[in-house]
Amino acid sequence: MQNINRELTLKKIFLFWVPLGATWLMMSVEGPFLSALIARLNEPKYNLAAYGVAFAFALIIEAPVIMMMSASTALVKDRYSFNKLKRFTYYLNGALTLLMLILIIPAVFYFITEDLIRLPHEVAHLTHIATIILLPWPGAIGYRRFYQGVLIRSNLTRRVAYGTVVRLVSMAVTALTIYLFIDVPGVVVGASALIFEKGMSFLIAKNITQSTTHTISRYGKIIMDVPAAVANPLPPLNSSQGLKQCAKIANIDETAG
């Protein structure tokens, strides 16, 4: 650990941080882009209002999984911790999806939106449609953020940024396709684009962490130099070469902290 502290330079910190900073910068474009499309469709006042409320509901329900990335970055160190936290993530995602299902029950939803919040019926109705579309939202985000933390823990922050690029492209293509070719309310354009993006993030999350999860499964721990470890699998453990390779990997892990 002392060796790492001596080797930690401002350049290394900057290179580690840039993909993460770029990720949030890219994601900040999402809201204005979708709002611009919704504003160009019929009844923009109602649809923009409904989109904002539905997005706020989704943010409230997803709140418990937002810090899953920090949790996996801090806690995932080996096969045991990886499997334990992954199982916890699945349970939490299921509970939040169930909560989302309860929210979209018409009696519950309209009590909250019309009786408590006092939304006009037109806005409440459009918000209900958008919230139904966003049903898979919390589960997809929890799944993605768990694996993002594993990537950060493995010093693979660039892959987090690559995944964000794929998500943004899929969101933009979906939104523009519906906007240009399908006659639906603007709030449906926004919610559909968001949920397709989250679906893409669900699909790519495990794919872009494949080398890391393979390493955890094979060696029982995270190794910072993941591609090299995967490219050079262990020889049989009953051979002298295998024992030397095990010792080498253990030394890599100790140095990586």
Which range marks the domain in which residue 76 is found? 11-212
Least confident range from 106-120, 130-144, 217-231: namely 217-231
Sign of CA dihedral 36, 38, 40, 46: negative
> What is the secondary structure of the chain as a DSSP string?
-HHHHHH--HHHHHHHHHHHHHHHHHHTTHHHHHHHHHHTSSSHHHHHHHHHHHHHHHHHHHHHHHTHHHHHHHH--BHHHHHHHHHHHHHHHHHHHHHHHHHTSHHHHHIIIIIIS---HHHHHHHHHHHHHTTTHHHHHHHHHHHHHHHHHTT-HHHHHHHHHHHHHHHHHHHHHHHHH----HHHHHHHHHHHHHHHHHHHHHHHTHHHHHHHHHHSB--SSHHHHHHSPPPPTTSHHHHHHHHHHHHHHHHH-
The answer, yes or no, to whether residue 123 has pLDDT greater than 80, is yes
Domain assignment of residue 218, yes or no: no
Q: Which of residues 130 and 207 earns the better pLDDT score?
A: 130
The predicted pLDDT at position 203 comes to 74
Domain assignment of residue 238, yes or no: no
- 41: Cα within 13 Å, side-chain hemisphere: 24
> If you average pLDDT over residues 48-71, what whole number do you get?
95
Domain assignment of residue 228, yes or no: no
Domain assignment of residue 130, yes or no: yes
> If you average pLDDT over residues 189-217, what whole number do you get?
76
The predicted pLDDT at position 3 comes to 43
Which tens digits make up the pLDDT trace of 163-187? 888 889 999 999 999 999 999 999 9
> If you average pLDDT over residues 27-39, what whole number do you get?
93
CB 211 within 8 A of CB 227: yes
Least confident range from 13-17, 22-26, 60-64, 210-214: namely 210-214
Q: What is the pTM of this model?
A: 0.78
Number of domains in the chain: 1
Domain assignment of residue 199, yes or no: yes
Burial 41-57 (b: 16+ CB within 10 A, else e): beeeebbbbbbbbbbeb
Domain assignment of residue 245, yes or no: no
Domain assignment of residue 229, yes or no: no
Domain assignment of residue 249, yes or no: no
Structure-block tokens of residue 20: 């993460």
Which tens digits make up the pLDDT trace of 141-164? 999 899 889 888 888 888 888 888
Rg of the Cα atoms in the chain? 22
> If you average pLDDT over residues 250-255, what whole number do you get?
40
